[in-house]
Chains A and B, each alone.
Chain A
Amino acid sequence: MKTLRLLVAVLAVGAVLPAQAAMKVLATTSDWGALTRELGGERVDVYVATTALQDVHRVEAKPSLVARARTADLLVATGAELEIGWLPVLITESGNSRIQPGAAGNFEIVSALHLLEIPGKVDRSMGDIHPLGNPHVQLDPHNIAAAAHALSARLAQLEPAQAAFYQQREKDFETRWSAAIARWEAKAAPLKGLPVVIMHRDQAYLCHWLGLTELASIEPKPGVPPTAAYLGQLVSKLGASPPKLILVNAYNDPKAASWLSERVHAPVVTLPFSVGGDDQAKDLTSLFDDTIDKLLAANK
């Protein structure tokens, strides 16, 4: 009898659950996964397609991702063609009409942002250039704030009955985030004007935000690995005005940067770049804390 009663209870709960089930979200990167969790709390069930140690340009539309895309209520992608090498095929293969381009369940972060480096002329001879602008937007916290606002509105649109919940969470996040930005900006003030060498254009937003001065980039063209000759030129070019730091992301191959480091006598700083890029960057707040701490520590 007891067992039966328990069974009935379980079945009853099971019947009620679907109405209460969390919204399934597929986020292309750990940063957007973390942001969706901040905004959706227990109401969202987030799956992140990539790790911070992967190059988001070069991901495959692997079966596990097709399966997650199939069941997703919402896809949170960067957009601006960052994921062009795999996301379109994932969306097509998923057979999920909710996340098709133009559907409410297809959200692109860049739709809320003004991108840097929108090229006037685009040609593949220029390397892996992004014709719609630089899509590596997550390292400027003001972008996160703008994205949060738009993403929260989208969550509320998809689940109108919970609109008040999402609005409240967004308000809380905004308050915390503005305070954090003020803290980071005060802390990072000494970094303003700091001459740095970057690896790829994906550090452009960080430099823009903190006012770092980009002297050069180790990649001669976006996505094109440096040749020995190019690195040689870089050394002589940097001889006159040496950088203080060389910035590398967790997923980058650090070889070229270490080689350059020895010759221009500037330390290499490996930044987490995305949530999960190192042990300290556990969520969006700690990603920025860690990034600024690493820059300050290396600049001493």
Chain B
Amino acid sequence: MSIFRPLVALLALATLPAMANADDVSSLRAELQAMKSDYESRVEKLESRIQQLETASTAAADAAAAMPPEPAPPPPPAAGGSNAFNPSISVILGGSYTNARRDPADWNIAGFTPAGDEIGPGDRSFNLGESELTIAASVDPYFTAQLTAAITGENEIGVEEAFVRTTALPDGITAKLGRFFSGLGYLNEVHAHAWDFVDQPLAYQAMFGGQFQQNGVQVKWIAPTDLFMEFGAEVGNGDSFPGTRRDRNGFNGATLFAHVGGDVGDYASWRAGASWQETHAEDRNAFVDPLLDGFTGDSRTWVADAVFKWAPTPRRQLKVQAEYLRRSEDGVFTFDPAGIALPVGYDNTQEGWYVQSVYQFAARWRAGLRYDRLDSGIPLYRPLDPNAVDFGPFQSQHPERVSVMLDWNPSEFTRLRMQYDFDDARDDGTVFSKNGDRVFRLQYLFGIGAHGAHKY
């Protein structure tokens, strides 16, 4: 700006001479000359400064160019299964082909109230099984999260698991929050695609409708010992068979479990445990008999589980597992013939167990055998009105099943399986009797994407 002001002054001066006298003109000339030389020197100074700056920057650039390139950064540390920010996504596609001697629609477990619609051998012919979509990732340094959705052949989406889990709690403690398969027993936590047979053992089907899902919180502690010992406790809303939701605050039911495990030599390992679960049901539907309408009361289940694995070479493995489940329920059954709600006291203890073994006899082949047995117990119906007539004694029922399985696993992502069941769940006969059901199933399981590792 200071440059423009003298310029304006110069222009103004240029118009002056006409009216100025000679004296003025000469003094003005002198002044002008002084100003001119002053500005010339200033411009010179500026020019020299600019030049200096230019040289300096070129020198810097030259120096930079002359310097050796920066050493290459070390290779990025290898990341784990999932990319740092994209969650691991996996899909398991499953399906089956079923041949059944008797109509699967009237399949039920004799002496047990139906435990939801996920039990039984399924429909005949080709069936699209559950497509299992799992998305998992770390949330932050403190939590990981996982969603497992099952998309059924009937075009429904169910949330199998949706939970966050802590990773930063001290002293071997982890907590889970959300919906997850309860840690009770051994098979309860195992997802369907990782089962060794097409379906769950009868005991799990009868007692938990397949698997006991917890909507709540789990806290687990692993003892700091060389012998594996874990202890867990869960509370939830009870919204999974044999419980129901209740119209009240607080939680419904609790689960406790403990497992111990270890090795036998270099090639064998084992795990055993005990679990206890208590829950409450309110108007739990019981369609087993058109007379029964609902059960309200307490349900307590004990589970004992044991697994043994022996892998003498990388291509051979023997796995033997067994579980025993025992459930006691007491409360009130409401009989509703023709709309007359008739409450009756109910008390029963039911049990079930299975033992199964799977042997990998070649790198890609596994064969399995399973025996299932249940005891329905003798239900005790007590009329609440002491004057009413007693229902009399009931018979206990003993559903049984024998399953044989063969599967072929060309890779760890593909499994093709056949299973044949001698099924006597419906009637109290013997498994191999003429009335017994015979179910033959072919099953496929294909996994794509980044699927997390399986538990023991």
Contact with B along A118-134 (1 / 0, CB 8 A): 00000010011000100
Note all chain A residues with C-beta closer than 8 A to B226: 64, 67-68, 71
The answer on a CB contact under 8 Å between A63 and B259 is yes
Chain B residue total in the interface (Cβ 8 A):
54
The answer on a CB contact under 8 Å between A62 and B269 is yes
The answer on a CB contact under 8 Å between A67 and B453 is no
The reply to whether the CB of B435 lies closer than 8 angstroms to some CB of chain A is: no
Complex partner residue of A89 from B169, B170, B262, B454, CB under 8 angstroms: B454
The reply to whether the CB of B413 lies closer than 8 angstroms to some CB of chain A is: yes
The reply to whether the CB of B249 lies closer than 8 angstroms to some CB of chain A is: no
Size bracket of the A interface = 35 or more
The reply to whether the CB of A263 lies closer than 8 angstroms to some CB of chain B is: no
Q: In the complex, how many angstroms separate the beta carbon of B331 from the nearest chain A beta carbon?
A: 37
The reply to whether the CB of B384 lies closer than 8 angstroms to some CB of chain A is: no
Q: How many A-B residue pairs have CB under 8 A?
A: 130
Note all chain A residues with C-beta closer than 8 A to B171: 95
Which residues between 241 and 261 of chain B lie within 8 Å of chain A, taking CB atoms?
A: 259-261
The reply to whether the CB of B47 lies closer than 8 angstroms to some CB of chain A is: no
Which of B363, B413, B453 has the most chain A CB atoms closer than 10 A to its own CB? B453
Smallest CB gap from B307: residue in A? A63
Which residues between 37 and 75 of chain B lie within 8 Å of chain A, taking CB atoms?
A: 75
Note all chain B residues with C-beta closer than 8 A to A94: 172, 222
The answer on a CB contact under 8 Å between B222 and A81 is no
Complex partner residue of A66 from B81, B141, B228, CB under 8 angstroms: B228
Which of A62, A100, A128, A224 has the most chain B CB atoms closer than 10 A to its own CB? A62
The answer on a CB contact under 8 Å between B172 and A63 is no
Complex partner residue of B269 from A63, A97, A124, CB under 8 angstroms: A63
Q: In the complex, how many angstroms separate the beta carbon of B164 from the nearest chain A beta carbon?
A: 12
Q: A89-B452, A100-B167, A124-B448 are in contact. Are A111 and B263 (CB under 8 A)?
A: no
Contact with B along A63-80 (1 / 0, CB 8 A): 110111011000000011
Q: A95-B220, A96-B172, A223-B411 are in contact. Are A67 and B456 (CB under 8 A)?
A: no
A6–B168 alpha-carbon span in the complex (Å): 41
Note all chain B residues with C-beta closer than 8 A to A100: 167-168
> Which residues of B line the A interface, CB within 8 A?
75, 77-81, 138, 141, 144, 165, 167-174, 220-230, 259-263, 266, 269-271, 309, 311, 313-315, 363-364, 411-413, 448, 452-456
A-B contact pairs, 12 of them (CB 8 A): A55-B314, A63-B271, A64-B226, A67-B262, A70-B224, A84-B453, A86-B453, A108-B77, A110-B78, A111-B77, A251-B314, A253-B314
